Amino acid sequence: SLADVAQIYGEHGFWKAQAGLYSVLDVLHSSVKISDGIFRVQDNRRKRKTDPLVTAAREFLQSNLAVKVSLQSLARHLNVSVSTLSHRYKRQMNEPPMKTHMRFRLEHAKNLLLKGHTLKFIADETGFSSPYHLSNMFKLAEGMSPRAFLARAEGRARQRTS
């Protein structure tokens, strides 16, 4: 399992597990809702190859979690127009690049929460202007506050050890 990889290989394993988790999340994100609670996962083998522009954009977004990235600055970094970037990215990923960046930032925030860091530290590490801003965005995306997320995660960890 991904947790085993992280435990066996330490810090490097943690990042390998994160990469695996993002791969799973990408598959789930591309699924299509058939009815309540039933989704069909797309067969990615039949999809066209990933657009190199999209790959470069995702890599830039992932490596700039603590920096405020605008669509204009991302397009400028990639030497394309905002329109080209937006259209090609959305066609490939089914979401705008800034939504992906927010998702990456919040996933990183969750990991830092689970490691015991303060909201102030996490806000600084993930590019939010304040702990309050982080908390609001977290609650909007996750449907619960960072504190509730942490309490739920700790409760699950206690259940596994019992």
Q: How far is CA 132 from the centre of its chain?
A: 20
> At residue 21, does pLDDT exceed 90?
no
Q: What confidence score (pLDDT) does residue 26 get?
A: 75
Query: In this structure, is the dihedral angle defined by the CA atoms of residues 46, 93, 108 and 144, taken in order, positive or negative?
Result: negative
Most confident of 13-17, 33-37, 52-56: 52-56
Q: What confidence score (pLDDT) does residue 24 get?
A: 77
Task: For residues 89 and 101, give the distance between their C-alpha atoms in angstroms, rounded to a whole number.
Answer: 12
Q: What confidence score (pLDDT) does residue 153 get?
A: 85
pLDDT, tens digit, for every residue of 98-148?
999 999 999 999 999 999 999 999 999 999 999 999 999 999 999 999 999
Q: What confidence score (pLDDT) does residue 25 get?
A: 78
Please give the angle made by the CA atoms of 6, 10 and 14, to the nearest 5 degrees: 40
Q: What confidence score (pLDDT) does residue 4 get?
A: 61
Instruction: Report the C-alpha dihedral over residues 62, 30, 52, 48, rounded to 10 degrees.
Output: 170
pLDDT, tens digit, for every residue of 38-91?
767 766 555 558 899 999 999 999 999 999 899 999 999 999 999 999 999 999
Q: What confidence score (pLDDT) does residue 158 get?
A: 72
Q: What confidence score (pLDDT) does residue 60 get?
A: 96
pLDDT, tens digit, for every residue of 22-31?
777 777 777 7
Q: What confidence score (pLDDT) does residue 50 get?
A: 84
DSSP-derived 3-state class of residue 7 = helix
